[in-house]
Amino acid sequence: MRLVEKVNAIALGIIVWIVLVLSVLQFTAFNVDFYREQYAFRDTAASIGVSETDLIKVTEVLLDYTSGKRPDMIVNVEVNGVMKQYYNQREIDHMVDVRILYLKVLQIRDILLLIGLVNIFALFAFRKKKVVEELNFGLTWVSVGFGAIILLLGSFAIINFDAFWTAFHKVFFSNDLWLLDPYTDNLINMVPQEFFIDLIVMILIHFTLSLMTIFVLLKSEKAKGITQNSLKVIAVITMTIDHMGYFLFPEIREMRIIGRIAYPIFTYLFAMSYRFSHDKIKLLIRLVIFAVGGHLLILWAGDSGFYNILFLFILGWIAFWVIDQKKGLFVNLIVVSILAYLAQAIGVDYGYYGILTLVIFYVFYENRWKQFLFFSILTIFFSFEWLITNLLTNSQYWTYLPTIFSRGIYSFTSYFPQIFAILALIPIGFYVYKAPKSKTSWTYITNQYFFYFYYPIHFAILAYLHFHS
């Protein structure tokens, strides 16, 4: 690649990063449902003295004003039994500054987006074969540079968030209107420091997922599909987000929803790795060693459950081995049923659902449509199982249905989160198997063992932070 091409690639990478960050900021910070869940978790309405309906009303006014959809923030609601103007003058003056900054930032985003699109169209017109190469080169190096900056800023925020937050406001604002008083200003009680921490976390997560999607698409264009390594990256990132939500940010339900994507990918990859393994006994030994070792590490961190997914894979290995013996459908059903019951009884992660998922991906490996169909049916049943059980055993539960489904798609995030595991079928559907060039290379061995080490280590670290912080 010539120097001018490298410079253009870096410039394009910077544009993609900035446009992506600002777009994710817009999407996340103006999502009313994010505010609604934060308010519910912290009981914000009661602490301020307003109804939940009025709290959402004043939030929508705030967001509409900031985004330029309305000319003012004047709104009257009942606060502690008294009808009054909700936002005071200091809050309004501060939000004038925020609005000006936000709208300028969006203008910059739109200009950069236009420049980036013109650049990409020019590449397609004059160097079509170089488009993917230049985008991949630019994004990779810019991601390394900007990623290092974000890591430094993140470290600063973790060490002293107050100092980080103060420095942020001094950089972007020329006055101290942002210093609000919780005794007189409602805004600071609506969005306290903890709210902004969660907001920053979600912006980083949405950005990471967006950037990961771009990289996967670039890699898949070259490989004519999604490779095993790309699938692993998707699974590891979404799994990590899920576990961070479980241990560190239980108030952010979306993190658990994102994590639903990971498990089906891991089970699919394990089913495929077993089928193409030349030494299945060695695979079992590796599973047992890392399952037990990882479990001891997780116990040390303070968690006592059988959350290590490798225990489930051990049971899956047994199911695969029995199926391969070709003793007949009846024997297979009996063994799989016993394993599913055992997984459920001893509390292995995902229980019977996990075993059946493994079996579906293994048995129908030659027919992806059957894999997807039966997995979808199983996931839908598993997601609605608790509701079906209650409807059959408690007639009063029928009266709760309007409430359960009152929020549309967000009802599923609250009551039926596992249903989102079906989204994992999208990257799996684009997966293309490619035999490794060498099974003795450092790259192959690293890829093979990375998950075995990463899973218990990251789980133990998060568990330790949860139980000992």
pLDDT digits (tens, 9 = 90+) for 87-121: 999 999 999 999 999 999 999 999 999 999 998 88
Evaluate if residue 469 carries a pLDDT over 80: no
Structure-token pair, residue 39 = 């308010």
Helix crossing, 193-223 with 161-172: angle to 10°?
A: 80
Per residue in 399-422, pLDDT (tens digit) is: 888 877 776 666 777 788 899 999
* H or E segment to which residue 76 belongs: strand 76-79
Q: Say how many CA atoms lie within 13 Å of 427 toward its Cβ.
A: 30
DSSP per-residue string spanning 191-252: S-HHHHHHHHHHHHHHHHHHHHHHHHHHHHHHHTSB-HHHHHHHHHHHHHHHHHHHHT-TT-
Contact 193, 160 (CB under 8 A): no
At 436, the pLDDT band (50, 70, 90 cuts) reads low
User: Can you give the pLDDT at residue 409?
Assistant: 67
Contact 391, 397 (CB under 8 A): yes
At 260, the pLDDT band (50, 70, 90 cuts) reads very high
d(CA 32, CA 38): 10
Question: What is the residue type of 158?
Answer: I
At 305, the pLDDT band (50, 70, 90 cuts) reads low
Counting residues of the chain whose pLDDT is more than 70, the rounded percentage is: 96
d(CA 431, CA 349): 25
Contact 77, 58 (CB under 8 A): yes
Helix, coil or strand: residue 273: helix
The gap from C-alpha 183 to its chain's centroid, in whole angstroms, comes to 36
DSSP state of 431: B
Of 80-89, 218-227, 310-319, 426-435, the poorest mean pLDDT is in 218-227
Structure-token pair, residue 229 = 């390594």
User: Can you give the pLDDT at residue 230?
Assistant: 87
Per residue in 317-364, pLDDT (tens digit) is: 999 999 999 888 999 999 999 999 999 998 888 999 999 999 999 999
User: Can you give the pLDDT at residue 439?
Assistant: 63
User: Can you give the pLDDT at residue 299?
Assistant: 86
Q: How far is CA 358 from CA 239, 336, 352, 382, in A?
A: 18, 10, 10, 15
DSSP state of 347: T
Evaluate if residue 438 carries a pLDDT over 70: no
d(CA 362, CA 339): 15
d(CA 20, CA 178): 27
Contact 164, 171 (CB under 8 A): no
β-bridge mates for residue 77, sequence order: 84
d(CA 106, CA 202): 19
Evaluate if residue 13 carries a pLDDT over 90: yes
Evaluate if residue 307 carries a pLDDT over 80: no
Evaluate if residue 195 carries a pLDDT over 90: yes
Evaluate if residue 306 carries a pLDDT over 60: no
If phi over 0 gives left and psi between -120 and 50 gives alpha, with beta otherwise, what is residue 123? Answer: alpha
Helix crossing, 309-324 with 262-275: angle to 10°?
A: 40
- The residue extents of the domains of the chain are 3-210, 226-468
- CA R_g for the chain: 26
d(CA 30, CA 42): 19
Contact 115, 122 (CB under 8 A): no
Question: What is the residue type of 108?
Answer: I
Contact 333, 376 (CB under 8 A): no
In 3D, which of 366, 267, 367, 247 has the Cα closest to residue 317? 267
d(CA 220, CA 281): 33
Evaluate if residue 286 carries a pLDDT over 70: yes
d(CA 192, CA 174): 21
Q: How far is CA 186 from CA 50, 58, 88, 122, 199, in A?
A: 10, 10, 8, 50, 19
Average pLDDT over the chain, rounded to whole? 90
DSSP state of 83: E
The three-point CA angle 425-28-157 to 5° equals 110
Evaluate if residue 291 carries a pLDDT over 60: yes
Of 78-82, 126-130, 144-148, the poorest mean pLDDT is in 126-130
- Rounded to an integer, the average pLDDT of 154-167 is 92
Q: Which range among 235-249, 298-312, 422-436 has the greatest average pLDDT? A: 235-249
Contact 275, 362 (CB under 8 A): yes
DSSP per-residue string spanning 149-202: HHHHHHHHHHH-HHHHHHHHHHHH-SSSTT---TTT-HHHHHS-HHHHHHHHHH
- Rounded to an integer, the average pLDDT of 47-74 is 96
